């Protein structure tokens, strides 16, 4: 999506370790007008008439997923990071190794809010190795719900997560895929 | 706000320890149509023409604050919980004792995104003792920005946080204030 690619080129920063920083408009300070445009763009790629729920993980996916859920007229559900002393019954949970936290993170969802008859669109701001996304897919499967698609704002294509989910057999769309980082120069994948 | 009070009465649950659970529409599964109505209601209480930014804290405040920022046409900024191995320079930070986590949490904001000429409306989903809110107010003050108001969806009036911020001298509005919990019976404060 050219609008997003242009924005990353204009305002994104590359930090050591191939970290792509887009915290001026996507995941710290948030430009909700841009998110609305992303939410519109996603509708081209998923079976919107089937979707009953948008799912994301806390924390940085929530802003984009909220705008998407509002645009599509369905509830948003966000998986929470479990606090070790706060695990109750009635939950679906999945363990994820977080490279940001450098430790295991457990995502939880109340069984009350995700059901076998739900048709779920997962939305997240970033795709890297895909561990967090696998945790979300596991939660959808645990509930016996139907995964209808995965929508990502920015994918780091060279980290492999995106290609893993493209092979899943459900619609997958990342609106900007960064295939290479050389110094501060970014190469985006052709659409 | 009657719409919110009715929703809490219909769908909220009281758990042991006076925990008010509204995770079916506010902070786990999220009803974005309700959030839009809350965002509209807040405009009655704050100097909307002055506000340049909506500020909240991750994670559960982000959905409501996103809808507010979109409605008011200003950026959203959310304070992040610091990871101990991830504190960089160029940050404002404030320490908060979290009763949920039962430990100290450090909120951080990049100095790049909050400036002395900003006029900030803080939005959060819940107000209890007010520790997280004090952390956000400290961040606004650290930046030398102007706090224009504090907007809360649900306040637990009996925990004292709200009254502390009503004394601050800036507009404060909680759309539903629960003054008493007896068994599963809730008493709301008159508007």
- DSSP code of residue B118: -
Residue A110: list chain B partners with CB under 8 A. 23, 28-29
Please say if the pLDDT value at position A147 is more than 60: yes
Residues in chain A within 8 Å Cβ distance of B84: none
* Structure confidence at residue A186 (pLDDT): 96
Q: How many Å apart are CA A83 and CA B73, to the nearest integer?
A: 35
Q: Using the beta-carbon criterion (under 8 Å), do B58 and A63 form an inter-chain contact?
A: no
pLDDT of residue A98: 78
Q: Tell me: the pLDDT tens digits for B53-85?
A: 999 999 999 999 999 999 999 999 999 998 755
* A179 φ, ψ (degrees, to nearest 5): -95, -25
The torsion defined by the Cα of B76, B82, B85 and B86, in degrees rounded to 10, comes to 20
The alpha carbon of residue B157 is apart from the nearest alpha carbon of chain A, in Å, by: 24
> Given an 8 Å threshold on Cβ–Cβ distance, is B77 in contact with A30?
yes
CA distance B59 to chain A (A): 5
Nearest by CB to residue B66, choosing from A32, A109, A113, is A32
CATH 3.30.420.10 fits B2-188, yes or no: no
Judge whether A104 is closer than 8 Å to chain B, CB to CB.
Answer: no
What is residue A5's three-state secondary structure? helix
Contacts B58 to A, Cβ<8 Å: 58-60, 62
Q: What is the pTM of this model?
A: 0.96
Show residues of chain B in contact with A60, CB under 8 Å: 58
Least Cα separation, residue A54 to chain B (angstroms):
10
**Which residues in B lie closer than 8 A to residue A62 (C-beta atoms)?**
58-59, 62-63, 66
Nearest to A77 among B29, B60, B83 (CB): B29
CB pairs under 8 A between A and B: 105
Q: How far does A91 lie from chain B, in Å, by closest CA? A: 12
pLDDT digits (tens, 9 = 90+) for B141-165: 999 999 999 999 999 999 999 999 9
Place of tokens 């980082």: A181
pLDDT confidence of B8, banded at 50, 70, 90? very high
Residue of chain B whose alpha carbon sits nearest to that of A65: B63
> Could you report the predicted ipTM of this complex, rounded to two decimals?
0.95
User: Considering CB atoms only, which of A75, A85, A101 is closest to B102?
Assistant: A85
- Mean pLDDT over residues A28-38, rounded? 98
Residue A84 confidence class, pLDDT cut points 50, 70, 90: low
Instruction: At A46, give phi and psi (nearest 5°).
Output: -125, 155
Cross-strand pairs, B161: none
pLDDT value of residue B95? 93
Which of B24, B101, B109 lies nearest to residue A113, judging by beta carbons? B24
Residue B67, preceding bond cis, omega within 30 degrees? no
Please report residues of B whose CB lies closer than 8 A to that of A63: 62-63, 66, 76, 78
Q: What pLDDT is stored for residue A103 in this prediction?
A: 84
Q: Structural domain boundaries of chain B?
A: 2-188
What is the tens place of the pLDDT at every residue in A52-69?
999 999 999 999 999 999
pLDDT of residue A100: 67
Beta strands in chain B (DSSP E): 13-15, 19-21, 29-30, 53-57, 76-81, 91-98, 103-110, 119-127, 146-156, 172-182, 185-188
Nearest of A140, A84, A94 to residue A117 by alpha carbon: A140
Q: Hey, is the C-beta of B23 within 8 angstroms of any chain A C-beta?
A: yes
């Amino acid at each position: 999506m050219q609008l997003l690619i242009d924005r990353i080129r204009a305002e994104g920063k590359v930090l050591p370790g191939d970290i792509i920083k887009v915290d001026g408009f996507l995941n710290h300070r948030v430009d909700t007008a841009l998110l609305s445009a992303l939410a519109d763009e996603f509708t081209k790629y998923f079976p919107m008439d089937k979707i009953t729920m948008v799912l994301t993980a806390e924390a940085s996916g929530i802003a984009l997923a909220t705008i998407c859920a509002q645009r599509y007229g369905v509830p948003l559900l966000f998986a929470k990071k479990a606090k070790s002393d706060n695990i109750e019954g009635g939950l679906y949970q999945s363990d994820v190794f977080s490279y940001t936290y450098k430790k295991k993170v457990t995502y939880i969802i109340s069984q009350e809010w995700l059901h076998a008859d739900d048709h779920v669109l997962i939305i997240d701001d970033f795709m890297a190795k895909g561990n967090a996304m696998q945790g979300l897919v596991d939660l959808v499967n645990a509930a016996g719900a139907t995964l209808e698609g995965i929508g990502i704002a920015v994918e780091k294509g060279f980290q492999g997560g995106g290609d893993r989910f493209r092979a899943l057999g459900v619609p997958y769309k990342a609106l900007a895929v960064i295939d290479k980082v050389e110094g501060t120069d970014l190469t985006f994948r052709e659409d």
